[in-house]
Amino acid sequence: AQTVTQSQPEMSVQEAETVTLSCTYDTSESNYYLFWYKQPPSRQMILVIRQEAYKQQNATENRFSVNFQKAAKSFSLKISDSQLGDTAMYFCAFMKTGSARQLTFGSGTQLTVLP
Amino acid sequence: NAGVTQTPKFRVLKTGQSMTLLCAQDMNHEYMYWYRQDPGMGLRLIHYSVGEGTTAKGEVPDGYNVSRLKKQNFLLGLESAAPSQTSVYFCASSRSGQETQYFGPGTRLLVL
């Protein structure tokens, strides 16, 4: 079974600054996907970024980027130029390839962007 | 295009009552999922379906049943609600062969 660990329950950052959220995972699979989801106070789950394990290049989506270290089983999210709208709970999630595509989530990091 | 919708948005039940949560998607997705989210925890998979007429158990299936009679709908049933089932329930769907899951807005359930 896979496990996903987010060791930072809460973090804060000043507006316009950069913040990095940590995530580690444990798996014996070689092919999988990793995701970061954002959950604002509205509770809607929003996909922020995803990474295919077979790709060495780190994924980037505008102000969001990841540092994927496959050997270390680490998948951190960097948010640049933080905005007030980035305030949310952030979940790291793992999906092994194959049938059903089930997601395994970490416990989340509550990020607060301070004005 | 409504995406994934969930009915109801909020419900209060008494212990022992039954209810059904409805998930509907208009994206013609093959796969559908039910998750629950409890305080301090990430989402956990309850049941999922890879196609019409098929369902399978996830990580926390006890106390729940599901049905997928139509491709666009995925029902989650609680036959005899318990306080431990107080949670926020999320439905999600995805296309076969695609890894991105699209989530509904959630249903908050309180069991007294």
Residue of chain B whose Cα is closest to the Cα of A45: B103
Cα–Cα distance for residue pair A29/A24, rounded to 1 Å: 14
The pLDDT value recorded for residue A95 is: 92
| Any A CB within 8 A of B74 CB | no
- Are A100 and B42 in contact (CB < 8 Å)? no
pLDDT in tens, A12-42: 999 999 999 999 999 988 889 999 999 999 9
Interior/surface letters A80-90, b for 16+ CB within 10 angstroms, e for the rest = eebeeebbbbb
| A26 to chain B, closest Cα gap in Å | 16
Q: Confidence class of residue B15 from pLDDT cuts 50, 70 and 90?
A: very high
Residue carrying the six token digits 């305080």: B39
B107, containing H or E segment: strand B107-111
Residue A84 CA, distance from chain mean position = 18
| B103 to chain A, closest Cα gap in Å | 6
Give me the residue from A50, A101, A106 closest to B42, CB to CB: A106
User: In 3-state terms, what secondary structure has residue A33?
Assistant: strand
Residue of chain B whose Cα is closest to the Cα of A104: B44
pLDDT of A2 higher than 90: no
The pLDDT value recorded for residue B73 is: 97
What are the DSSP calls for B28-97, one per residue?
A: --SEEEEEEE-TTS-EEEEEEEEETTEEEE-SS-TT-EEE-SSTTEEEEEESS--GGG-EEEEEEEE-TT
| B81 to chain A, closest Cα gap in Å | 23
Cα–Cα distance for residue pair A82/B81, rounded to 1 Å: 42
| Any A CB within 8 A of B72 CB | no
pLDDT in tens, A48-101: 999 999 988 999 999 999 999 999 999 999 999 999 999 999 999 999 887 567
Q: Confidence class of residue B97 from pLDDT cuts 50, 70 and 90?
A: confident
Q: Is A56 exposed, middle or buried (0-12, 13-18, 19+ CB in 10 A)?
A: exposed
| Any A CB within 8 A of B93 CB | no
* Cβ contacts of A103 on chain B, cutoff 8 Å: 33, 35, 43, 45, 92, 101
CB-based contact A72:A17 (threshold 8 Å)? no
- Are B99 and A33 in contact (CB < 8 Å)? yes
Over range B87-97, report the average pLDDT.
93
* Cβ contacts of B66 on chain A, cutoff 8 Å: none
* Cβ contacts of B109 on chain A, cutoff 8 Å: none
| Any A CB within 8 A of B64 CB | no
Give me the residue from B40, B59, B103 closest to A44, CB to CB: B103
Over range B82-101, report the average pLDDT.
93
The pLDDT value recorded for residue A99 is: 59
Q: How far apart are the first and last CA of chain A?
A: 41
What tokens does B59 get?
A: 């990580």
Cα–Cα distance for residue pair B66/B75, rounded to 1 Å: 5
The pLDDT value recorded for residue A1 is: 76
